[in-house]
Structure 1
Amino acid sequence: MTILYYKIIIFVLCFVSSSFGANVLIIFSQPAKSHYILGNGLATGLAKRGFNVTIVSPFEEKHPPENYHQIVLDGVVEKMEENLIKGNFNVFEFGDTSPMLQSLILNTMSTEFANQFFAHQKVQNLLKSEEHFDVVVIEQFLNDATKIFAHHFKAPLIIASSLGPNIWVNDLVANPEPPAYVPNVFLNFNDEMGFTERLYNFLFGIFCQLNTHFVVYPTQSKILKKYYPIGPDLDGIIYNVSLVFLNSHESINEPVPIVPNMVHIGGYHVTPPKKLPKDLQHFLDNSKEGAIYFSLGSNVIPSQMPNATRDAILKVLGSRKEKILWKWDQDSLPNQPPNFKLSKWFPQQDLLAHPNIKLFITHCGLLSTTETIYHGVPILGFPVFGDQKLNAARAATLGIGKFIDFSKINENNLEEALNEVLDNPKYLQNAKYRSQLMHDRPVKPMDLAAYWVDYVIRHKGAPHLRVAGVKLPLYKYLMLDVLAAIFASIFTLFYLVYRIVKYCRAPSVKEKQH
């Protein structure tokens, strides 16, 4: 054995011995399957590395590893689905609303989710328990009141973002978000914006800041006081963030500024491909002309799409030489073409790893985008709402695919986009290149996450990583007082010059007498 080998063994043993047995509380409270996949991936990965993990979520892991404990918030998902049915909520209609209206709708939904979370008896039991946790990890998504758990258990706080750097996390660690080249998460802009796009991005950013500070935070503060009246004010806990886990990576996201206590771990939920079920393996192995995989994710009900859009998709895909795998929520499709195979669920990561998959038609959720880049498969994006439009624009900028806003799909633009992505080799080449970038990392993302959890515990919250900007009130951080002083000085100077000129040009007393 070489000396280097021994050094690696010693490093691993030191790491394991320092982290083994540490108690980690992970809270992913959103009743959305895609969010849970990230939370469960983090919890499972940490448990397998020796941490003693407790995860609070509306979903349940059927095959948990050792050191993995669940607090399943039963009834939350059912309540959400019941409310959506009563409200006749159709996500395809939601996608056509303006970004401002979407953010206001999210305000209402997040308030409802937060109240359900804190009112749940299991959450109240946890708050009343005498459990001990060494660190608390909370998903950051308009749920700032949940940060009280770090205060309650006297543990450092790590927040996990289901996205890269964005409006919901940047403010908490004073991370800069220059509107000149960092598009807002609600907008389908890339990092090379024209004047109109930069203007809109700037003004929408101001709207988001006002919404956060004057709507979201006050609402979360009321929820906190309602369910935890003896605790501190919201301002006293939300900025006490030790670390931010970002579900991003340079292979997927544009390079943007991040402060020292932000860490990219994008792709940590991706697992090595497993053997496909026999029917899928046979279907793909016999797809001599290749196959196209079509899925709109876990939060979209495909059968709710407009009939005209569905029929256009069926006609175009049904005429293709490739076979089609479509994740569909019903047992059959009207006028289903013979080259189609439907299922309510597909093992997506394992499918994308099959060499006969030539294209992924996706809603451009970040998990799906990450997985298709990991496996080097080009995409055709049908973004519907939220960050999906930003992810679609980013994929087009990277050259790994094209996108069509879902509400604008028709036979002509769909056929044109399919032919372009499938026939032009640059999209496959770019997808393979981005896949190489994602794999070319010094440390696996889950190992990196485990290291930083242990680091935060070892260094008691790692306060040395936090920038001074997090201590400043908003007006100081934005230099509003300095700008006001400069403008006041300029105004005073111009006013004095004006008065002097006016005085000098005024006629003297003798001139007035003549």
Structure 2
Amino acid sequence: MQYTTLLIVTLTSSCLSIVSGARIIAMFPYIGKSHFDVFEPFVKELAARGHQVVVLSHFPQKQPITNYTDISLVGSITTEARDRIDLGRISGTEILKTAVKEIRGIFESCDRMLSFQKVQDLFQSQETFDLIITETFLADCFLPLVHKFKAPHVAISSSIMFPWSNDRMGNPDNPSYIPTQGTYFSDKMSFIQRLINVIANTALKFIFSATESTVIAGYVRKHFGDDVPSPSDIARNTSLLLVNTHFSLNGPRPLVPGIVEVGGLHIRPPKKLPKDLEDYLNGAEHGVIYFSMGSMIRAETLPEDKRDAFLQAFSELPQRVLWKWEGDTLPGQPKNVKIAKWLPQFDILNHPNVRVFVGHGGLLGSIEAVYAGVPMVGIPMFGDQPTNIRAIVNCKMGVKIDYNEISKESVLKALRTLLDQPSYRENAKRMSKIYLDRPMSAMNTAIFWTEYIIRHRGAPHLRPAILDLAWYQYLLLDILAAFLVSIITIVFLIYVITKKLAKMFTLHHRKKSKQS
């Protein structure tokens, strides 16, 4: 028995040692802070577990961390950082224009970052790594480094899955019931909604593929030469995709083993609030409404009419309001409204006196609302925000206000609906229990599967055979063609034989008639 125990301990220790000192490089070139907020706890946890982690990003650590090395991209983008959005410029079609401008800026920033000396030094270096982690977003210009280092590749998404990610991982993506990112559809769609969803899904895949094969591939050839495979070919060899979703909120859908949901990866235990906030929340007899438009949208740029609509609505409510407001002053600020340039959102949402969260529908904020069990008023702008708010509405723990329809009346109606109807708070608490009911936390799940990829050297056994099929083979068009050819051949043979028999019968009949 002692020998058996010793053997188990030895095998376990040797298995753990395989991954305890892995060298990992994580590349997060997008400048949006909210994206890095998802990845930072993950790479820090990898470092805390003994891995040597090199992180390429725009957000170097202010204090040194054991096993954590920064390659800073600060200075690689010379234009003004596009991490804040001016609400004064968003109305009607301007929302679409802003989104298009943002996407164009992401692609253009690829060229500038690939020209950055630190990136060029990394590509020319003789460094070796056991694992490469990248963000899967709108631009894959850093994927040539995956090819260069010849290490297993783990992709991670800060949002719900993009349509093209399914193709890369060999995952089924049926638009008849799976809403496309950016649409405001549930998994139960009408005929028209399914039609729009199919068009949106196909269009997004086509546009991304066309852009990647021209613009991004051009940048790759410019900076890394012609011998590097295309980004799409490199991406199809991704070992694992970690997605910031959970079926309880985002809906059930089929996933291949190489795609793992880790919704709430950025969540950590709530911390004690600063005394002034604690006192403000504790003293709210009728509860508190928390209002924040996230880290990328500047609330102070709200047009005056929309700002006044919120202020007038808040002034008619008995609840206190805590508003993340970047300005020094708030014109017309009612007595029941407190402003601050920065607020510990997750800690606030977990205070028992918070009754409603008003936000733009970013995935991190939506997840935090679900985690804390707080009803939500969503004002989606672009990207995955409409899809996130649709999920909140589907769970019956929130309502939606269109940005262009913001008025005192619409704000009051939304807030009173959530405040006066207990079912919304009950549903939010129910959703919180479901969301948290997992065999492992999101962080432990992400760490387990990441180390699984290291232990099994890329885990090629997770790779579905569909990735080796041509598109016509996957759609069974070759089988259909074979059936059609067979049917046509059989019909043709029947026709020829019938015609021959008919001719023989006719000749025989004529010959017999002549003899008689």
1:426 aligns with 2:423: yes
Partner amino acid, structure 2, of 1:321: P
Match of 2:206 in 1: 210
Residue correspondence of structure 1 range 91-490 to structure 2 within 5 A: 92-93=90-91, 97=95, 105=101, 107-229=103-225, 231-234=227-230, 235-481=232-478
Distance 1:280 1:482, change over 3 A: same
Task: Give the letter for the 2:181 counterpart.
Answer: V
TM-score by length of 2: 0.88
The alpha-carbon deviation at position 54 of structure 1 amounts to 1.1
Tell me by how many angstroms 1:83 deviates: 11
User: What's the CA shift for 1:343?
Assistant: 1.2
Give, in whole Å, the separation in 2 of the partners of 1:117 and 1:490: 57
Q: Name the aligned partner's letter for residue 283 of structure 2.
A: N
Residues 33 and 295 in structure 2, CA contact (< 8 A), matched pair in contact too: yes
Q: Does 1:51 align with 2:41?
A: no
Query: How many residue pairs end up in the alignment?
Result: 495
Paired residue type of 2:361: C
Q: How far apart are residue 414 of structure 1 and its match?
A: 1.6
Partner AA of 2:104 in structure 1? T
- Which residue identity lines up with residue 259 of structure 1 in the other structure? V
Segment of structure 1 superposing worse, 470-479 or 400-409: 470-479
Question: How far is 1:24 from its partner?
Answer: 1.1
Letter in 2 for 1:438: Y
8 Å contact 1:118–1:124 — kept in the other structure? Answer: yes
Deviation of the 1:493 alpha carbon: 9.9
Range with bigger deviation, 12-21 or 318-327: 12-21
Distance 1:348 1:153 in 2: 39
- Whole-angstrom CA distance in 2 between matches of 1:79 and 1:216: 23
The 2-side partners of 1:180 and 1:96 are apart by 30
Q: 1:199, 1:239 → 2: CA distance?
A: 28
C-alpha distance in 1 between matches for 2:84 and 2:440: 42
Task: Provide the rounded CA distance (Å) in 1 between the counterparts of 2:427 and 2:263.
Answer: 19
Matches of 1:497 and 1:80 in 2, distance apart?
74
Structure 1 residues 222 and 298: alpha-carbon distance in aligned structure 2, compared to 1, 3 A threshold: same
* Counterpart code for 1:181: Y
Offset of residue 309 of structure 1: 1.3
Q: Assess, with a 3 A threshold, how the Cα gap between structure 1 residues 269 and 320 changes in structure 2: closer, same or farther.
A: same
CA distance in 2, matches of 1:12, 1:412: 63
Give 1:217 deviation, angstroms.
3.1
CA 1:457–1:448 in structure 2 vs 1: closer, same or farther (change >3 Å)? same
Q: Residue 3 of structure 1 corresponds to which residue in structure 2? A: none
Instruction: Note closer, same or farther for the CA distance 1:103–1:363 as it changes in structure 2 (3 Å cut).
Output: closer
Q: Is the alpha carbon distance of 1:232 and 1:119 closer, same or farther for their aligned partners in structure 2, counting shifts above 3 Å?
A: same
Cα deviation for residue 94 of structure 1 reads 7.6
Q: How much has 1:106 moved relative to structure 2? A: 5.3
Q: What secondary structure, in the 3-state scheme, does the structure 2 residue paired with 1:145 have?
A: coil
User: Is 1:38 aligned to residue 34 of structure 2?
Assistant: no
Segments ≥4 residues shifted beyond 6 Å = 6-12, 82-85, 484-499
Compute the displacement of 1:64 (Å).
5.1
How far apart are 1:486 and its partner, in Å? Answer: 6.6
Q: Which amino acid aligns with 1:167?
A: P
Q: Given the superposition, is the C-alpha separation of residues 80 and 359 from structure 1 closer, same or farther in structure 2, using an over 3 Å criterion?
A: same
Cα deviation, 1:443-486, whole Å, max 9, x if unaligned, reads 12211211111111111111100111112333433445556677
What is the DSSP-based 3-state SS (H/G/I as helix, E as strand, rest coil) of the residue aligned with 1:144?
Answer: coil
Percent identity for Structure 1 against Structure 2: 37
How far apart, CA to CA, are the structure 1 residues paired with 2:36 and 2:348?
21
**Distance between the aligned counterparts of 1:467 and 1:172, measured in 2?**
10
TM-score of the pair, normalised by structure 1? 0.88
Alpha-carbon RMSD: 3.2
Shift of 1:216: 2.7
Unaligned segments of structure 2, at least 5 residues: 1-5, 497-501, 503-516
Unpaired stretches in structure 1, ≥5 consecutive residues: 1-5, 505-514
- Cα offset, 1:303, TM superposition: 2.3
| More deviation, 60-69/427-436 | 60-69
2:506 paired residue number: none
